[in-house]
Structure formats: C-alpha cells, structure tokens
Amino acid sequence: SVSMESNSGTVYLVHSSNDSNDTATIRTLFNRWFLVLTLGLLNVSNAALWITYSAIADYTQLFYNVTADGVNWLALVYPLASLVFGLPTAYCLDRLGVRTGLLIGAIFSASGGAMRYASAILAQPSFSLALAGQITAAIAQPFFMFSPTAVASEFPVSQRATANTLGSMSNPLGILLTNILSPLLVKSKTDLPLVSLVYFIAAAAALLFSVVTSIFTRQAPAPGVAGSELHQSAAAQHLTFWLSIRACLTNRAFGLLLLAVGAGMGLFTALSALLEQILCPYGYSDQFAGICGAVLIGAGLVGAGVAGAVADYTKRFITLSKVSFSLAAATSAAFAALIGRPNSHAAVVSSIAAFGAFGFAFYPIALELGVEATHPVGEAVSTGLLVLAGQLASVVLMVAGQVLATPTATTALTACAVPPPMDYSLACLVFAGMAAVLAILYTLMFNTDYKRQEAEKRQLDAAKAAAVLLARLLLRSGMLRLALGRMSRLEDMLICQLFGAFYCGLVGLDFTVCLFFDH
C-alpha cells in the first residue's frame, strides 16, 4: 500500500505492488521528530552555557577574581551577540536550510563550552578565556531560537503547533535545569571546573546529534495546502528578505507586539540573570534563588501549555494575549514589592511563579499573532524580529538594573558570599512600572486581522470547490462508467471512493469531506 498525508494529518491508502512507500513514510516521521529532538537538545545545552555563571554568581566572582559586573557580562554577551548576528543568522537559515544552520550553531556552542572549560582548568583561571567562550556560544543562540518555525513547517498542520512548542520551550527548559543543577554542583569556588565540564559535555553531545541529523535525515516536504502553498506565499508575492522586514516594521499591530514581547523577554532575562543578586541581600540563599529560577520556568512551561490549548480551542488569541500580558505585569509588581521582606519565602515564590505562568503564556500567543498580523511575511522573519526585540530589551534592562542598583544599607541579613551586596529593589520597581505602562497601551491599542487563517480558509475553500468540480465532470462524462462498465455497482462505488480519497489527499482535504464520491 501507498500512504499519503493530508493537511489534517489523515493517512489515505491506495493499492500498490509493494510497501516501499510505507517505509518511506515511517522514515519521514522519524526524520521530523529526530530533528525536533536535536533542536531541543541544542537549545537546552546552549541555555545551560548562557545561565551557568548567573546561577552561581558569587562563586564565579571568587573563582575568577572579578566584580559582580564582570559576572553579569558573561550573561549579557548572549543578547548582544543575538543583536549583532541575528539578521545574518536569519538569512543563513533561509538560504542554507535549518539542518545546516543548526549544525553551524552546534559547532559554535560546543566550541564555546570547550573554551569555558579550558579557562577553568588553567593554573591561573582566565576570565578573558571564559568570556571568549561565552561570546562563541552566544553566536549559536540565534540559530536555535529562530529555528522552531522552520522545523515545524515540515509537519502537517495538525502537528505543527506541538513541534513548534517543543522546539521553542526547550530554551527555558535548559534555563530551568541549570538553575537547579548549578547550585547543587557548586558548593565552593573550586567546583567551577566541574560544572564547566558538565555543560561542555552536554554541548558536545548536542553537536553529535546535529551531525547525525545533518547527514542521515533529509527535509520532508510540507504536506497539504496550508503547509506547501501557503508557506511559499511570501515568495509568490515577491517579498524578498528585506521587503519582509520592512513590511513587519511598518505594521502598526506588529510594532505594538515588538514593544510588548521585547519588554516581556527583557524582564524575564534580567530576572533570570540577576535573581541571585536580587535576593541574597535580604537573606535568601543561592539554593533558594535557584529554586525561584526553576519555579519561574516550570510555572511558565505549564502556563504556556495551558494558554496554547485554550487558544487552539477558542481561537481568541488577542483576548488571551491581553489578559496574560496584563497579569504578568501585575505579578512582576508584586514580586518587586515582596523581595525587600526577609523570610517571605512563600510569597516570593508565589509571585515569581505567577509572573512565569502569565509571561510564558503570552509569549507563544504573541508569536502566533506576529505571524497573523504580517502575513504573507515568512514565519522566521516575524519571529526573528520579535526575538531580536526581546534581546535588545534584555541588554537595556540588564544594564539599567546595574545602574539603578545601590549599596545595601545593612549587611545584617545578607546571604551573599561577596560583600558588599547591591540592592536591586529600585530596579525591580522601575521594571514593573515599565511593564504596567506597556500593558495598558497594549490592552487599549492592539488589534489585528487573522490574515494567515483567512488565507488558509480561502485556499481550503478553493480546494473543496476544485474537488467537487472534478467529481462532477468525471461522473457526467461517464469516464468511470466506461472504464468500469463490466464491474458491479458495489465495485464501481468502491473504486470511485478510492479515486476520491486519492484526489482529496492531493489537494489536502480530509477524507470525510470527499464522501460525495459514494454517490
């Protein structure tokens, strides 16, 4: 039998002399999901390289003999590298393909991990080499952050959201695991070589998966009308890479999304990188800060999953985005108000969990709205610009946080290993105020048409009309009766049904739509 996928993921079977195409279908499914697994491993390992030192900032200061600002630069180079290499990376992915792009990123990521480990095992630990390793690994991040939509485009529409979510949420999953693992591995400054080795091994393993993916898997054609024709709609309308960028930047709705997504990603990045320094002056340990970081990501992953399911069911993306962004801003204000209270562990954890849940719920919905608002611009372009806005905001907020930080009035409560600790409460209040203002503007002003969904509906309606027209022409002309004239009525009906299933598969329709062939 020969298997064939439709736009909805339905598999149609028609007669064939062998099962070679069944094997090809299984191989295609394996290639797709192995690619998702590879992207997930690359994102997790690269995120671990990014956030390693921030989770153990005090021990990093002692090991490399640098200031807190020096440790912060180890995290800050990531968004800076994305700003510098973001557009070239998007162009590279567009021209060379996602598999080659992931392999290039994996080489940079593993090389950066190796340099970091080398900096820790020298007789005299080298902060300069560690920083160079961070920069090298940071160049890889845009290759991974921009790829989920390209990876998901190889799936049927019914599986595309799942593939996209798995690919994009693997980055915060890596941050979550690092926030848990790093404080457990590092009990003193002498443990820095160990943690550097662990994360280098993870990056090297991800590189191996990328090599296997690049050599032994090949790109599968996107099935169905929405997957193949709609994916090429930007090219069909002569939107080049630079014209697509211009179309995004001149779109009012997309401009509001840039501000909202940028602020949300920037606030998340700043809190993730500075969390230990924010909490330790008030008596909260590194272990508690690691727990808070893990709760932030864990609650966020749950929130993103729930929001995605609700959005798929209700299709009310705009309403959900406004509610989630507003609640994320409110809970960030609650966190800013609570951090100055000693021994308020439960309240601090609850506020940061709520911020993670609502903030992560907003992110995937906002990416979908970016695609809807800018169609027929390609998904990678709109997603890349939103991610770049987040990286720019991350740089601004992390620098602003250090500028706004003030010396702690008293060290009686501090749990910081390196005195004197800095007070980030003013910075957190300023960040919360910024989020509140943007939430008000976004709620009042944002609106857009669902342009991609409307285009998909038009194409599906056209395919249905074409199928009905062809069926009528065939039946009226008597071609099937002439070819099957000696067969019984039942056999004639079955052959017609198989032909209808075959044609409906070609145009991407579910088989149930084609039951008119029974008549």
Digit-coded pLDDT (tens) for 383-403: 888 888 988 888 888 888 888
Contact partners, residue 307, CB within 8 Å, separation at least 6: 320, 324, 360, 361, 362, 364, 365
Asked if 354 contacts 331 with a C-beta cutoff of 8 angstroms, the reply is: yes
pTM for the whole structure: 0.73
How far is residue 498's CA from residue 459's CA, in Å, rounded to a whole number? Answer: 23
C-alpha dihedral (380, 385, 387, 391), degrees to nearest 10: 150
Instruction: Please give the structure tokens belonging to residue 475.
Output: 């039946």
With a cut of 70, list the residues of the chain below it in pLDDT. 1-25, 157-161, 218-239, 409-420, 471-472, 474-519
Residue 487 DSSP symbol: S
